[in-house]
Amino acid sequence: MANESRSNSPGSLLFDRPEHSADSPLSVHAMTVAYQRKPVLWDVDFDAPAGSMIAIIGPNGAGKSTFIKACLGLVKRASGIVEFWGSPYRDARLRVGYVPQREAVDWDFPVTVMDVVCMGRYGRAGWLRPISRADRQTASECIDRVGLAGFESRQISQLSGGQQQRVFLARALAQEADLYFMDEPFAGVDAATERAIVRLLHDLRARGTTVICVHHDLQTVETYFDHVVLMNMRIVASGTVSAAFTPENLRRTYGGRLTLLAEASEAVARAERGT
């Protein structure tokens, strides 16, 4: 069924498709996502090279967060297939980590730094099984790695923005995943935290972990990342930073040419609503 929708999808002849392989941590085939019938991502194809650090960039409303959420099944896909190392997400769950945007949670929630980082172990513990002593040990090491030792029993509202982001990062590390999705890990953090996060991400890459970040700061793309995906409701370009991060591609991503696609989305939504 997914194959069918793929051959019917509008853009299937327009772009060259890379070879999909079972070694790729993430293969996305012809994924389309719509919110209330309004398409926000059109026919996206993407293969993540293993062990790379990938930035997803694009203007607001380009569907960057939606891309991540759709890969993880947090929003419904209208069509397309997503595979992790050649398997569906269900079978690869433990190998995939997720760092949502900091605003996605209520920081007044009555939990401590330790509680939040332990949540990274919940997937391994599974239903009904409590967190073990070994899990707490791992969590405590991860807190150490992000430089928050001594903050374990702090309630999370008593942290600065940068510290909160580090808590999220420690929680992701506690997942011990091979592929991470991070939604704007550098948003609203201080310079010291940004450096600390980059160092950690590069450590992860050195161990062969793949990291996919939604990123906003075009200035740092070349220093922080080795691959880049330019997205504006579809993938405009993707590849190594040196090949894809070009002024021409940036202009095509951020420039006005795509308003046509946005207008078409509106028109599709209107037609489907019958207004």
User: Where along the sequence are the contacts to other proteins (CB under 8 A)?
Assistant: 36, 69, 72-74, 93, 96, 98, 100, 104-106, 109-112, 115-116, 119, 122-123, 125-128, 130-131, 155, 159-160, 163, 171, 192
Nearer to other proteins, 63 or 241 (CB): 63
Q: In whole angstroms, what is the distance from residue 98 CA to residue 253 CA?
A: 25
Nearer to other proteins, 155 or 246 (CB): 155
Nearer to other proteins, 127 or 206 (CB): 127
Q: How far is CA 257 from the centre of its chain?
A: 25
**Of 128, 194, 125, nearest to 161 (Cα)?**
194
Nearer to other proteins, 179 or 201 (CB): 179
User: What is the nearest approach in angstroms of other proteins to the Cβ of residue 275?
Assistant: 15
Nearer to other proteins, 89 or 254 (CB): 89
User: What is the nearest approach in angstroms of other proteins to the Cβ of residue 58?
Assistant: 20
User: What is the nearest approach in angstroms of other proteins to the Cβ of residue 261?
Assistant: 24
**Of 26, 73, 19, 55, nearest to 178 (Cα)?**
26
Neighbours of 263 (CB within 10 A): 10
User: What is the nearest approach in angstroms of other proteins to the Cβ of residue 171?
Assistant: 8
Q: Which tokens sit at 198?
A: 């980059």
Query: Is 162 in contact with 192 (CB distance < 8 Å)?
Result: yes
User: What is the nearest approach in angstroms of other proteins to the Cβ of residue 101?
Assistant: 9
- Angstrom CA distances, 131 to 70, 97, 169, stand at 29, 18, 19
